[in-house]
Amino acid sequence: MDVSYLLDSLNDKQREAVAASRTNMLVLAGAGSGKTRVLVHRIAWLLSVENCSPYSIMAVTFTNKAAAEMRHRIGQLMGTTQGGMWVGTFHGLAHRLLRAHHLDANLPQDFQILDSEDQLRLLKRLIKAMNLDEKQWPPRQAMWYINSQKDEGLRPHHIQSYGNPVEQTWQKVYQAYQEACDRAGLVDFAELLLRAHELWLNKPHILQHYRERFTNILVDEFQDTNNIQYAWIRLLAGDTGKVMIVGDDDQSIYGWRGAQVENIQRFLNDFPGAETIRLEQNYRSTSNILSAANALIENNNGRLGKKLWTDGADGEPISLYCAFNDLDEARFVVNRIKNLAGERRCAGAMRHSLSQ
Residue ranges of the binding site for ATP: 29-36
- Whether residue 34 contacts residue 248, with contact meaning beta carbons closer than 8 Å, is answered with no
The span from the CA of 53 to the CA of 84, in Å, is 8
263: nearest Cα among 298, 239, 227, 297 = 227
Within 13 Å and on the Cβ side, how many CA atoms surround 113? 12
Specify whether the CB–CB gap between 214 and 86 falls below 8 A. Answer: yes
Q: Residues comprising the binding site?
A: 29-36
* Gyration radius (Cα) of the chain, Å: 23
Beta-ladder partners of 195: none
* Cα(328)–Cα(333) distance, integer angstroms: 9
Q: How far apart are CA 316 and CA 343, in angstroms?
A: 14
**Around 57, how many Cα atoms within 13 Å sit in the side-chain half-sphere?**
26
For 156, other C-beta atoms within 10 Å of its C-beta total: 18
Q: What angle do CA 3, 28, 297 make, to 5 degrees?
A: 145
Number of neighbours of residue 102 by Cβ within 10 angstroms: 17
SS (H, E, C) 297-340: HCCCCCCCCCCCECCCCCCCCCCCCCCCCHHHHHHHHHHHHHHH
- Rounded CA-CA distance 237/284 in Å is 34
- For residues 146 and 119, give the distance between their C-alpha atoms in angstroms, rounded to a whole number: 10
Task: Let me know the angle formed at the C-alpha of 211 by 268 and 51, rounded to the nearest 5 degrees.
Answer: 90
